[in-house]
Amino acid sequence: MNYFTVDLLTPEKVVAKDIPAESLLIPTVRGQINILPHHTHLINRLSTGVLSIFGGADDPDRHFSVTYGICKVLEDKVIIMSHTSEEKSEISADRAEQALETAERRLNSGEALSDSEIEKFQRKAERARLRIQLSKQ
Amino acid sequence: MANIKDLKKKIKSTKGTLKITSAMKLVSAAKLAKAQQAITSSRPYANELETTIKTISALVENYTHEYLEEKNNNHEALLVISSNKGLCGGYNSSLAKEVRKYLAETDKDVKVYFIGKKVREIIQKEVNFGKNYLFEKADPTFLELEGVGKELAQLFESGEVGTVKVAYNQFNSAISFTPMVKQLLPVSLDVEEKQELEAKFPFDFKYEPEPSEILNTLIPETYSTTLYTCLLDGVAAEHGSRMAAMDNAVTNCKEAIRAQTLKMNKLRQAAITTELIEVVSGAESLNG
């Protein structure tokens, strides 16, 4: 099997480097794309979602959340640059569920919230939904 | 002439200072390690982003972006990144000196913005003061800093300023840093580098969405990343500088304690000798 490697970078840290993969699912602005070995050179914009790296027979599958950023496929190297990223093992589904519940309760409670507060809770809810989605992978 | 009691007091207080400075040195060393870690982990992202932008803009023809255009505008915004705390050697004063030198040399009308209060305290009165940015914690996160960056970019977009620059201390090693002024906007792309990249990539990429659209989002992104890298450099340089300063202070304290102890012992010896002579000569006079 032909492998290629994946790097996942954020401004704050190198989340993962040189992960071997035989197939890769990337959420992009025009929908999810599947990268296999010998893919054409490609630069795409990411959308918020779950990035899945399938390691094939020898390596484990790994799942990451990605947000705003781009991905670059160049020869046998895929580089993902995202604003933030977390791996499935780093997150707790229970906490995400709780966070989502709290955020939605505040948004739907009918209390007077300022614009920045509404934005804050919407973002919290969005982050929590992404984590829940990631934890189900 | 100091007496023994005074010297003892002085030694005790110097020992206290020694304890404080060595503790500060240890703390700075730990923080420096963390800051260095932050730099090393953000550098791959920054470098990769820069190469990607350069590659795309080299391969795509006739692309222009607001951030790439030189504007005919004599106003300039200068963001000074300094520390909130002192006791870090020449960290703030050399940055202030660099800013002063820059302001004296430039022919532009510069408005100065500040992160960190130390350099602001030194030069606020002599410059055209813009704004001071404060953050929840001592060091801003990427998102907070991006907000600052956006504010400055807004000034550039609206035509209020023609250039945006940042003044910070670049981190070289634990004991050395270089104060410098760097241009953020307009983003400049090297012509030579562009040709080199064109030669390196004879093929083009497949873009989704359009390359111009990707560049539109990437160029502001490099701008914030560059700014963030500058901040990380500044933070690491601060801790490095403080560590070096405290190391000097520890050496000086030890030296002072040694000198004072020596002086005290001499005085004590002299007092004992005098007493002995008195006793002996008293006994002699009784015998005689």
Task: Output the six-digit token pair for A31.
Answer: 């929908």
Kindly tell me if the per-residue pLDDT of A108 is higher than 90: no
**Which two structure tokens, joined as six digits, stand for B106?**
């430039």
State yes or no: ipTM above 0.85. Answer: no
Question: Which DSSP symbol is given to B138?
Answer: S
Say which CATH class B25-244 falls into.
Answer: alpha beta
Separation CA B25–CA B31 (nearest Å): 10
Smallest Cβ–Cβ distance between A41 and the set B45, B206, B225 belongs to B206
Instruction: Answer whether B153's CB lies under 8 Å from B66's CB.
Output: no
Average pLDDT, chain B: 88
Neighbours of B17 (CB within 10 A): 15
- A108 in reach of chain B (CB within 8 A): no
With beta carbons less than 8 A apart as the criterion, state whether A109 and A121 touch: no
CATH topology of domain A4-88: ATP Synthase; domain 1 (2.60.15)
Q: What is the pLDDT of residues B257-287, one digit of tens each?
A: 999 999 999 999 999 999 999 999 999 998 8
User: How much is the pLDDT for A135?
Assistant: 86
Q: Pick the residue from chain A with its C-alpha nearest to B50.
A: A81
Inform me whether the pLDDT recorded for B2 exceeds 80: no
Which residues does chain B have within 8 Å of residue A30's beta carbon, measured at their own beta carbons?
Answer: 208-209
pLDDT digits (tens, 9 = 90+) for B34-55: 999 888 888 889 888 888 888 8
What confidence score (pLDDT) does residue B279 get? Answer: 95
pLDDT number for residue B1: 53
Residues 6+ apart with CB under 8 A from B207: A42, A43, A44, B56, B214
B53, B194 contact by CB (below 8 A)? no
Task: Report chain A residues whose CB lies below 8 A from the CB of B38.
Answer: 12
d(CA B44, CA B94): 29
Put simply, whether A79 touches B (Cβ < 8 Å) is: yes
Give B201-237 as a DSSP string.
--S--EEES-HHHHHHHHHHHHHHHHHHHHHHHHHHH
| Chain A residue at shortest CA distance from B213 | A45
A-chain residues within 8 Å CB-CB of B41?
12-14
Q: Which residues of B touch A72 (CB under 8 A)?
A: 48, 52, 205
The whole-angstrom separation of Cα B218 and Cα B222 is 6
Contacts of B234 (CB under 8 A, 6+ apart): B81, B82, B83, B116, B168, B169, B171
CB within 8 Å: B42 and A45: no
Q: Note the pLDDT tens digit of each residue in B50-99.
A: 888 888 877 777 777 778 777 788 899 999 999 888 888 889 999 999 99
How far, rounded to the nearest angstrom, does the alpha carbon of residue A24 sit from its chain's CA centroid?
Answer: 12
CB contact under 8 A, A45 and B209: yes
* pLDDT at residue number A78: 93
Q: What number is the average pLDDT over the span B130-149?
A: 81
Q: What is the pLDDT of residues B159-203, one digit of tens each?
A: 888 889 999 999 888 888 999 998 888 877 667 777 777 777 777
The domain limits of chain B are 25-244
Tokens representing residue B27 in the block: 């703390």
Question: Which of A18-27, B68-77, B203-212 tops mean pLDDT?
Answer: A18-27
Distance from CA of A87 to the nearest CA of B (A): 17
